[in-house]
C-alpha cells in the first residue's frame, strides 16, 4: 500500500577527470558492530544503539476503522489511503533514523567491521512441511518480525555506500561463533545462548555483556582480515535483506 503523491529521484554524474572527488582521509579508531534485536547495534567500544520501537496504535486504529467500512465504498477507500499514508510516515521516519546512525558511524571511525548476515536465512519461516512440521512456530515468527523491524539490511546497505564515499574501510566478517567465543582468551562457551544475556567464559572467567563480547570478536576478525589474515566472509555487497518485510504490517 502506498499513498497517492509524486516522488522524484534526481541522479547526476560527475566528470571525474575534470573534478576528481576529494575524499577526506578517515580519522578515528576501528570498531566492530554486533547487529541484534535486544540492542539494535552494539559497538566494540561499549556504545549501544537502542532497538527501534514502533508505536502501532494509530495504524491499528486505522485498520479497525477500515474493517467497519463497506467494501467498495468511498469511506473505505479514504480510510485505506489514510492507512497507507501512516505506513509511509513510519517508513520515512525509520529510514531517516538509519541515516543518522550510519552517518555518525562513518564520521567517527576509520574502519568498521560488521557481520555478514544472511537475513533471508536468519528470518526463514519455521512452519516446516506437512511431513515434517516445524517447532516453536509462533516464537520464531515473533523473532523474525523483531529482526525485520530493526531494518538491519537497510543499515548495512547505507553503511556500504557511505563508507565508500567517506574513505572508511568496511569489512564484513563471518559471524560464526562471535557470540560464543571469549574475546579475551578465545575459549568457546557451549551453553545455550538464548537463555542468558551475559557471556561467561569457561576458560578465563570473563563476565561481560554478550553483545559487547560479540562486537569485540567482530572487530578482531576485521582487523585480522585487514592485516592479511583470514579474508572476510564475503564482500559487503553480499549483505541483502532479500526483499523481506515485517509480518503483519504493510510498512517497515
The whole-angstrom distance between residue 106's C-alpha and the CA centroid of its chain comes to 16
The reply to whether 211 belongs to the active site is yes
The reply to whether 55 belongs to the active site is no
Question: Choosing from 59, 86, 115, 149, which is the catalytic residue?
Answer: 115
Contact in structure between 143 and 115 (CB atoms under 8 Å): no
How far is residue 25's CA from residue 166's CA, in Å, rounded to a whole number?
8
Handedness of CA 193, 244, 114, 173 (dihedral sign): positive
Question: Choosing from 59, 86, 149, 211, which is the catalytic residue?
Answer: 211
Could you tell me whether strands 169-173 and 111-115 are parallel, antiparallel, or unpaired per DSSP bridges?
parallel
- The x, y and z cell numbers of residue 85, run together, are 499514508
Contact in structure between 129 and 187 (CB atoms under 8 Å): no
Identify the residue whose cell numbers are 529482526: 147
Question: Choosing from 34, 59, 86, 149, which is the catalytic residue?
Answer: 34
| 182-189 CB contacts, 8 Å cutoff, 24+ apart | 182/206, 182/213, 183/208, 183/213, 183/216, 183/217, 183/220
How far is residue 237's CA from residue 242's CA, in Å, rounded to a whole number?
13
The reply to whether 34 belongs to the active site is yes
| Other CB atoms within 10 Å distance of the CB of residue 175 | 20
Residues known to be catalytic: 34, 115, 211
Amino acid at each position: 500500500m502506498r499513498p497517492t503523491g509524486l516522488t522524484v529521484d534526481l541522479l547526476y554524474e560527475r566528470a571525474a577527470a575534470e573534478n576528481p572527488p576529494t575524499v577526506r582521509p578517515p580519522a578515528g579508531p576501528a570498531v566492530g558492530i554486533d547487529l541484534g534485536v535486544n540492542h539494535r547495534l552494539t559497538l566494540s567500544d561499549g556504545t549501544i544503539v537502542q532497538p527501534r520501537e514502533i508505536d502501532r496504535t494509530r495504524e491499528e486504529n486505522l485498520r479497525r476503522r477500515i474493517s467497519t467500512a463497506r467494501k467498495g465504498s468511498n469511506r473505505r477507500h479514504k480510510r485505506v489511503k489514510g492507512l497507507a499514508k501512516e505506513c509511509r510516515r513510519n517508513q520515512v521516519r525509520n529510514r531517516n533514523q538509519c541515516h543518522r546512525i550510519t552517518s555518525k558511524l562513518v564520521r567517527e571511525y576509520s574502519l568498521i567491521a560488521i557481520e555478514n548476515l544472511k537475513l533471508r536465512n536468519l528470518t526463514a519461516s519455521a512452519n516446516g512441511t506437512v511431513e515434517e512440521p516445524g517447532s516453536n512456530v509462533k516464537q520464531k515468527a515473533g523473532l523474525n518480525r523483531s529482526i525485520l523491524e530493526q531494518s538491519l539490511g537497510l543499515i548495512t546497505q547505507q553503511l556500504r555506500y557511505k563508507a565508500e564515499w567517506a574513505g572508511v574501510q568496511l569489512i564484513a566478517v563471518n559471524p560464526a561463533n562471535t557470540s560464543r567465543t571469549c574475546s579475551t582468551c578465545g575459549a568457546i562457551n557451549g551453553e545455550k545462548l538464548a537463555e542468558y544475556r551475559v557471556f561467561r567464559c569457561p576458560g578465563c572467567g570473563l563476565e561481560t555483556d554478550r553483545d559487547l563480547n560479540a562486537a569485540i570478536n567482530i572487530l578482531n576478525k576485521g582487523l585480522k582480515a585487514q592485516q592479511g589474515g583470514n579474508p572476510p566472509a564475503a564482500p559487503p555487497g553480499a549483505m541483502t535483506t532479500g526483499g523481506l518485510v515485517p509480518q503483519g504490517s504493510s510498512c517497515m
